[in-house]
Homo-oligomer: A and B are copies of this chain.
Amino acid sequence: MKHTCHDSLLSVHGPLPPSLKYKYYLITQTFDVQVSLCVPQFTFQSRTLQSMGEGENNDKFFTHPRNPKALAAYLFAHNHLFYMMELLTGLLLMVLSLSEAPAVPSLRLDVYVHATLELLALVMVAFELCMKLRWLGFHTFIRHKRTMVKTCVLLLQFVEAIVVLIRQTSHLRVTRALRPIFLVDCRYCGAVRRNLRQIFQSLPPFIDILLLLLFFMVIFAILGETHKHTHILYFNTLENSIVSLFVLLTTANFPDVMMPAYSRNRWSCVFFIVYLSIELYFIMNLLLAVVFDTFNGVEKMKFKSLMLHKRSAIDHAFQLLVSRQRPMGLSLKQFDGLMRFYRPRMSARDRFLTYKALNTAGAPMLSLDDFYKFYEVIGLKWKARRSGEHWFDDLPHTTFLIFKGINLLVKSKAFQYTMCKWTSIISSGFSSSRIVPWSYIVFLTIYGVEVLLKVTGMGPLAYFSSGWNLFDFFVTVFAFLGLIALAFDMEPFYFIVVLRPLQLLRLFKIKQRYRNVLDTMFELFPRMASLGLTLIIFYYSFAIVGMEFFADVVYPNCCNTSTVADSYRQINVTIGNRTVLDEGYYYLNNFDNILSSFVTLFELTVVNNWYITMEGVTSMTTHWSRLYFMTFYIVTMVVMTIIVAFILDAFVFRMNYSRKNKEPLLDPEDENGIVFEAEVSRDEALATLELYKQTCPGLSSLNSLQGVLVAMDRSGSSFLVYLGRRSRTKSDLSMKMYEEEIQEWYAEYSRENLPQSDRSLVERELEIPPPCPDPEPQPNSQGPLSIN
By a beta-carbon cutoff of 8 Å, the part of chain A in contact with chain B is: 205, 208-209, 212, 215, 218-219, 222-223, 225-227, 238, 251-256, 259-260, 262-263, 266, 269, 273, 276, 280-282, 285-286, 288-290, 292-293, 296-297, 431-432, 494-495, 498-499, 501-502, 504, 511, 513-514, 517, 566, 583, 585-586, 588-589, 595-596, 599, 602-603, 606-609, 612-613, 640, 643-644, 647-648, 651-652, 655-656, 659, 740
Contact = CB atoms under 8 A, between A and B. Distances in A.
B606 A280 contact: yes
- Among A251, A566, A612, the most chain B Cβ lie within 10 Å of the Cβ of A251
CB-based closest 8 A-B pairs: A259-B585, A289-B651, A254-B608, A251-B608, A285-B647, A293-B655, A289-B648, A255-B603
A596 to B, nearest CB: 8
A289 B223 CA distance: 37
B297 A659 contact: yes
Contact of A652 (B225, B254, B292, B640): B292
Contacts of A286: 517, 647, 651
Given A254-B609, A297-B659, 18 more contacts: A209-B513, A215-B504, A218-B501, A238-B432, A251-B608, A252-B608, A253-B608, A255-B589, A255-B608, A255-B613, A259-B583, A260-B585, A266-B596, A280-B606, A286-B517, A289-B655, A292-B648, A566-B566
Contacts of A583: 259-260, 263
A618 B566 CA distance: 24
A235 to B, nearest CB: 13
Contacts of A599: 262, 266, 269
A595 B254 CA distance: 18
Contact of A226 (B225, B297, B495, B504): B495
A293 B225 contact: no
Given A498-B222, A652-B292, A644 B285 contact: yes
Nearest to A267: B595
A643 B253 CA distance: 23
A263 B587 CA distance: 10
Count this chain's copies in the assembly: 2
Nearest to A650: B289
Contacts of A215: 501, 504
Contact of A259 (B251, B514, B586): B586
A644 B288 contact: yes
A218 to B, nearest CB: 7
Nearest to A651: B289
Nearest to A511: B208
A276 B226 contact: no
Contact of A293 (B209, B290, B651): B651
Contacts of A260: 583, 585
A659 B290 CA distance: 13
A30 B253 CA distance: 60
Contacts of A651: 286, 289-290, 293
Given A585-B260, A609-B254, A740-B740, A648 B495 contact: no
B223 A495 contact: yes
B499 A223 contact: yes
Contact of A212 (B251, B263, B514): B514
B588 A262 contact: yes
A209 B647 CA distance: 15
Contacts of A499: 219, 223
Given A223-B495, A652-B296, A655-B293, A281 B432 contact: no
Given A222-B432, A255-B586, A263-B588, A647 B289 contact: yes
A652 B289 contact: yes
B588 A281 contact: no
A212 B502 CA distance: 11
A525 to B, nearest CB: 11
- Among A292, A586, A595, A606, the most chain B Cβ lie within 10 Å of the Cβ of A606
A160 B314 CA distance: 80
A26 B219 CA distance: 59
Nearest to A218: B501
A463 B759 CA distance: 61
Nearest to A296: B652
A513 B208 contact: yes
A288 B648 contact: yes
Contacts of A588: 259, 262-263
B276 A606 contact: yes
Given A285-B644, A599-B269, A606-B280, A432 B225 contact: yes
A586 to B, nearest CB: 7
A238 B280 CA distance: 34
Contacts of A495: 223, 226-227
Contacts of A585: 255-256, 259-260, 262-263
Contact of A602 (B273, B297, B612, B659): B273
Contacts of A648: 285, 288-289, 292
Contacts of A253: 608
Contacts of A273: 602
Nearest to A655: B293
Contacts of A640: 281
Contacts of A292: 648, 652
Contacts of A266: 595-596, 599
5 contacts: A223-B495, A280-B606, A289-B652, A290-B513, A293-B655
Contacts of A212: 514, 517
A609 B256 contact: yes
Contacts of A595: 266
A700 to B, nearest CB: 48
Contact of A656 (B293, B511, B566): B293
Nearest to A227: B495
A583 B215 CA distance: 33
Nearest to A208: B513
Nearest to A659: B297
Nearest to A607: B251
B254 A603 contact: yes
B208 A514 contact: yes
Contacts of A223: 495, 498-499
- Among A223, A260, A494, A740, the most chain B Cβ lie within 10 Å of the Cβ of A223
